Every structure is written in C-alpha cells, then in structure tokens.
Amino acid sequence: MRVLGIEGTAWAASAAVYDTNADPDSIFIETDAYQPDSGGIHPREAAEHMSDAVPEVVETALEAADGPVDAVAFSRGPGLGPCLRTVGTAARALAQTLDVPLVGVNHMVAHLEIGRQHSEFDSPVCLNASGANAHVLGYRNGRYRVLGETMDTGVGNAIDKFTRHVGWSHPGGPKVEEAAKDGEYVELPYVVKGMDFSFSGIMSAAKDAYDAGVPVEDVCYSLQENVFGMLTEVAERALSLTGSDELVLGGGVGQNARLREMLREMCDQRGADFFAPDPRFLRDNAGMIAVLGAEMVRAGDTIAVEESAVDSNFRPDQVPVTWRSDEESVARWREEGSEVKGAEATVEIGDERVTKRRLPKSYRHPELDARLRRARTVLEARLTSEARRQGVPTPVVYDADPEEGVLVFERVGEADLRERLTAVRVRDVARHLAAIHGAGFVHGDPTTRNVRVDGERTYLIDFGLGYNTDDAEDYAMDLHVFGQSLAGTADDAEALREAFEAAYAEVGDEATLDRLREVEGRGRYQ
C-alpha cells in the first residue's frame, strides 16, 4: 500500500508517499518551509504559503513514488486554523480526484508514533517537545493519555518568544542552541507540578535578565538547562509512575542536542532505553503523517469528506487509537524489592523505617541539581510533618539531612495506591488534599504512586514539590495532577475521578473546583 501524507499545520508545507513495503526510514519527504520576514509566524501569511507550496510539494512527492497511491492522509490538527483549512481543502480535493480514501491524522500523535515505530519499543512513554505543544504521553485503554503537559505555551514557542525579544529571526530554537555553547549558568525559575510544567515565569525572568545586561549566551545556556531539565524530569516522573523503561522523543525541539543528551543520560542512569528519530522526522514533516496514515488505513480508520473538518485544538487524547490493541499499556509495574527507584530518589525500605536519598542527577546542571535537592528535602520534611498536624496520615519524619538530600521516615502502608485503586481510597485522598489546602499548602505531586495504602487507610507521602500558597490555581493543580495520574494508571479512571472530585466538593473549597474546570478548559496552543 502507498499512502500520500500532507502536512501543513503551521510552517512546513510538506508531502511524502509512504510505501508499506519499503523501509519507513528511507521515505522521501518534500518540504517547503515558510519563513516570516519579521517576528513570529503570521497565520494568514503562513496559510498563503500553504496554498502556494502544498500543490508543488505534493506533485514532487507523487513523482518520486513508485506508483499510484491508495489513500491521502492529512494533518487535521492541532495547528493554526487558516493553515489547517487550506491544507484540508487540498487534501479533500486530492482524495476525490484520485478516488481514494481520506485519513485525518492528529499531528501530535503522528509526532510520537514515528518515534515508536522507528524504535520498535512496545509501549513507551512519549515526550512531545514541539513548537506549540509539550506533552508527556502513554498509551492505555485505547488512547494516548496525557500524563503531563505545559500549563501555558509550547516549549518551542516559549523559546521563540525570548529570541524575538532579543531581536533574533524566527525560529529561535537553533539560535539559542548555538549561543548556549559559550554560556555560563545563571539562576532562573524552574517550575514542575507533578508531571505538568509551566514556562511563563522562566521566560519573563530570561527577558528581564537580558534587559538587565546578563550576557545573552548565559541566558541562552541557562534557559536550556532549566527548560530541558524540566522536560527531562517530567519524562522521568512518567517512567517512574507507569513503570515503563522506554522513552521516545518527538517534535521540532527534539532536534536540540542538549535536550537529547539530557534524556539519554536520564534513561542511562535509571536503566531505561531511549530513542529519538532523525531530525527530519522530529520537525514537522509529512513522513510522519504518511506513516501513521498507513496504520490508520490498515485499521479501517478513514473518514468521509463531510466529516473531515479540521480542529485547531485537536488534543492527542481525543484520538481513538484504532491501530493498537486495547490490551497494550504503558503501565507495567513490577514487584519492587527492598530498594525502590522513584523518579527523584532511591528509597531503601527497612522493616520499620525507610531511607530516601535524592542522589545527584548527572543530566542536570550541578548548581541547579544541588539547589533542587536541598530545597525539596527541606520542604518534604517540613510539609510531611505539617500535614500530620492537620490530621492527614503521613509517615513520621525521623531525620533530615538537606545537604546530602537524605530523609528517614517511618515505613507506612502495604502498597502504593496505583496497585490498590478503589473509589473509597480515592475519596480519602480528596479529603487529605482538602485538609492541606485548608491549611494553606499544596502537595505538589499527588499521584497514585505517592499515596500508600493500608487496609482502607491512605497515607500521603513525597511532599518534595509542595509549598505554601493561598492561590486557588495551585490547589486546582493538585487535583489536576491526581486526575492525570489516574488516567495513566487506572482502568476506570473516569469513575474514580468523579468520586475524587465529588469527595473534594464535600469538604474542600468550591473555588478550587471552579478553577480546576478553568485550568482544564484552557486552550494550550498559544
């Protein structure tokens, strides 16, 4: 079978024909890139580029193919509305002219599937680091579940906004990478909430630092260290939560050598496998659309022209994954022995006590690493005890050594919640979170792995990402993080989530639930 793929969500007018009998690595891709004269991508101009360039790249791709095509696959979203509409129209016309089926591909799922296919991994955690998006995903129960994502802009767009501020042309990512080679580390914000993260604080701090005269190469270097450190950390959290030992990378920012180096090093350090496709498959390209399009055709997943409207907010978790079996799953935790490897720490489990060590992470800049380990150890000791005073079951803290990053706790529970999920326990967790929010702090990482279970009793552990706050947004993020961890680890995630929110509603502040709705409804494609 031969499938024509067409890509045109933002900057790349691209076409490729994938022949399922040929090696997917060798696929011929024709791309014509839009380059703005000044500033960032102008949606109208980009759409004009698409209407000029798409027919040409399609013609070139069809000429390079060995014979007629059996289907036309196109990016239905997410992306810029004017571009999507232009390319959608071209794809529909072509499918009708050639009299072949039409396939509507989710661009973000294509970014991760190309890595999964080339890697030949079974069911990896997928990190999508692209211009308008940043997600950590894992397949479970027929969908790619979003385990974590940016709470504001995509990672590439965040970097590109900084480079516009300093007057560099679009795209900024490669220029930051080049400038960073001569830079030294300066402190910038670092924001991770469970497996979610945010770039707005770090980006305004980077602009301020530049305006205050910090050498631009130092700002670039430090931006990369923090932003990619955050992405690597959340990828590791996803590996730890799901028990997976495979990671694949996707998206245009994945072309950055420092990001790839950090991810590889993190995976090496925890004994996981890492795969990043070639740059031509990382940036926007029609090869990935054609390859996923072929999988979808094989699964009978084609669409009628009348139902092929584009969707600029098309989320990856909206896609029914027809081409993979329902039985497959990213989650595959095993029995752990007396030494547990978490995302941040190794935990030695004794009969009565556990010793948690935040060992240095070699992928992280040593200064950032020391700062995070120290601060999190202090906070974890303080908030674990503070939660107990609020009546929330937590382990007793026996000893804390912030310089070494070591904590000694009472051993609690028989298992992690992810292995014993029930509605009763999930409601209990909601009440614990309401209690600590009422006392003016957040847990920061309430996942099904950071709750220990003993009969019906549930204990909160791992307060290292907690902090004092009276902002409803922060409380809402605790609920959001727990909901996402259910999606990644539970079979009946929806029902459990409802039970969780209903229990929070009974005892917690209504404003927090209102804010949760707002957080979850927020458009993320800025």
Ligand X SMILES: C[C@@H](O)[C@H](NC(=O)OP(=O)(O)OC[C@H]1O[C@@H](n2cnc3c(N)ncnc32)[C@H](O)[C@@H]1O)C(=O)O
Binding residues for ATP: 339-347, 356
Closest to ligand X by CB, 252 vs 508, is 252
Within a 10 A sphere around the Cβ of 471, how many other Cβ atoms?
10
Residues 264 to 283: which contact ligand X by CB under 6 A?
283
**Count of residues of this chain found to bind Fe ion when the rule CB under 5 A is applied:** 2
Which of ligand ATP, ligand X, Fe ion, none interacts with 196 (beta carbon under 5 to 8 A by kind)?
none
Annotated binding residues for Fe cation = 107, 111, 284
Q: Select from ligand ATP, Fe ion, ligand X, none the partner in contact with residue 312, using the beta carbon and a kind-dependent cut-off of 5 to 8 Å.
A: none
Alpha helices in 410-509 (DSSP H): 423-438, 472-489, 493-507
Binding site membership for L-threonylcarbamoyladenylate: which residues? 128-132, 160, 173, 177, 256
Give φ, ψ of 407 to 5 degrees. Answer: -130, 145
> 225 vs 284, which CB is nearer to Fe ion?
284
What is the rounded distance in angstroms from the CA atom of residue 252 to the CA atom of residue 5?
18
Residue 480 amino acid letter: H
Positions of E strands within 352-434: 353-357, 397-401, 406-410, 415-416
Distance from the Cα of residue 69 to its chain's centroid: 34
Question: Minimum Å distance from CB 188 to ligand ATP?
Answer: 22
What does the alpha-carbon distance between residue 515 and residue 522 come to, in Å, rounded to a whole number? 10
Cα Rg for the chain, rounded, in angstroms?
Answer: 24
- Compose the 8-37 pattern: x for residues touching ligand X by CB under 6 A, - for all others: -xx---------------------------
Q: Which of 49, 76, 107, 443 binds ligand X (CB under 6 A)?
A: 107
Tokens of 465: 């990402």
Handedness of CA 34, 40, 45, 48 (dihedral sign): positive
Is the torsion defined by CA of 117, 129, 197, 515 positive or negative?
Answer: negative
Query: Given candidates 172, 287, 444, 446, which one binds ligand X under the rule CB under 6 A?
Result: 172
- Which window, 15-23, 149-157, 370-378, 511-519, contacts ligand X (CB under 6 A)? 149-157
Q: Does residue 154 touch ligand X according to CB under 6 A?
A: yes
- Of residues 248 and 486, the one with the C-beta less far from ligand X: 248
Q: Which lies closer to ligand ATP via its Cβ, residue 340 or residue 435?
A: 340
d(CA 136, CA 147): 5
- Considering only residues 118-147, where is the footprint of ligand X by CB under 6 A? 130-133
Q: Which of residues 66-105 bind ligand X (CB under 6 A)?
A: 78-79
Minimum Å distance from CB 52 to ligand X? 18
Give the binding range for Fe ion (CB under 5 A) out of 86-94, 112-120, 281-289, 436-444.
281-289
240 contacts which partner out of ligand ATP, Fe ion, ligand X, none, CB within 5 to 8 A by kind? ligand ATP
Q: What is the spatial distance between Cα 129 and Cα 464, in angstroms, rounded to a whole number?
A: 25
Closest approach, Cβ 411 to ligand X, in A, equals: 44
User: Cβ neighbours of residue 460 under 8 Å, at least 6 residues apart?
Assistant: 387, 392, 393, 394, 429, 432, 436, 443, 446, 450, 451
Site for Fe ion in 128-167 (CB under 5 A): 130
Residue type, 182: D
Distances (CA, A) of 10 to 92, 262, 313, 468: 19, 28, 13, 40
* Stretch 395-454 residues interacting with Fe ion (CB under 5 A): none
Choose the catalytic residue: 445, 462, 474, 478.
Answer: 445
445 included as an active-site residue: yes
Q: Which is nearer to Fe ion, 10 or 235 (CB)?
A: 10
Cβ 78 to Fe ion, closest distance in Å? 9
380: enclosing H helix or E strand: helix 366-389
Calpha distance 268→457 (Å, rounded): 36
| Residues at the site binding ligand ATP, with contacts judged by CB under 6 A | 237, 240, 340, 342-345, 347, 349, 354, 356, 395, 409, 411-413, 416, 449-450, 452, 461-462, 464
The residue nearest ligand ATP at its CB is 342
Least separation in angstroms between residue 252's CB and ligand X is 2
**Residue 7 contacts ligand X per CB under 6 A:** no
Using rule CB under 6 A, residue 251 touches ligand X:
yes
CA-CA distances (angstroms) from residue 488 to 46, 239, 481, 499, 521? 36, 11, 11, 17, 20
Strand order in the sheet with 273-275: 143-149, 134-140, 125-129, 246-250, 273-275
Q: Which one, 2 or 373, has the nearer CB to ligand ATP?
A: 373
**Catalytic site residues?**
445
Residues within the interface to Fe ion (CB under 5 A): 130, 284
